[in-house]
Amino acid sequence: MAVERHRGAEPAPAFYAIRGGGWRDWWTILHPPYTVWHLSYVAIGVAAAPVVRLDRLAATLLAFFLAVGIGAHALDELNGRPLRTGIPASMLRAAAIVSLAGAVAIGVAGVGRVGAALIPLIVFGAFIVVAYNLEIFNGFFHNDFWFAFAWGAFPAFTGFWASAATFRASGVLAATACFALSVAQRALSTPVRALRRRTDRVHGVIERTDGTTEPIDRATLTRAPERALRALSIAVPLLAAADVAARAIR
């Protein structure tokens, strides 16, 4: 029976993590594949609007990059060091505060163009970044549903509303699709994170009907879901780019 121990040879906490500290730690906490993936939901929402406004798309993308790409991930690392970086806590706090303030400022500036209905979206966005990543209220907002809602449906609907400033079924459908994509992402990534970050050993064997056997190790269990995650992290941004290009370029 195969047994894998990783003490003394810990695997990277994520497939995109870079060892070595310094700027590499900042790259790691940005979660580049996932950040680009979730920013793509903003573009999908904008493409679902009756009119595609590229200036509003750019502003909304920047706001979500600051809030999610930097702010949320800095708070997540501050809360338990899941990526095992050496970035000082003070720098993580500063990054979270400055980036979240910048995202809110962009949203407030957009109220004059989009309308007061944007204000609840700004308030919710700022709240969920803190509530989800710091697991406040005993972790009530830190679960699969809120992950899919906050990082899937919400960016898509906000992108839609920033461009449309009105309610349409297309915006709801786009948000629902991005919710479902985030559910799939969560289903793939949760067991992989557990294997990479919270597993001491993996042991077992697969017995085929033809009598052959295959040992089970960490690579066996992570290979398929991580291949799917890598593929999706490329496919979703390309789909978003195609949607925007099809609507904006005539």
- Predicted pLDDT of residue 175: 98
pLDDT digits (tens, 9 = 90+) for 168-199: 999 999 999 999 999 999 999 999 999 999 99
Contact 114, 56 (CB under 8 A): yes
Summarize pLDDT for 117-145 with one digit per residue, the tens: 999 999 999 999 999 999 999 999 999 99
CA atoms within 13 A on the CB side of 204: 10
| Span 140-167, average pLDDT | 97
Is the model's pLDDT at 103 over the cut of 50? yes
pLDDT tier, 248 (very low <50, low <70, confident <90, very high otherwise): confident
What's 168's DSSP letter? -
Reading the block at residue 69, the tokens are 């790409």
Q: Where are the domains of the chain?
A: 17-248
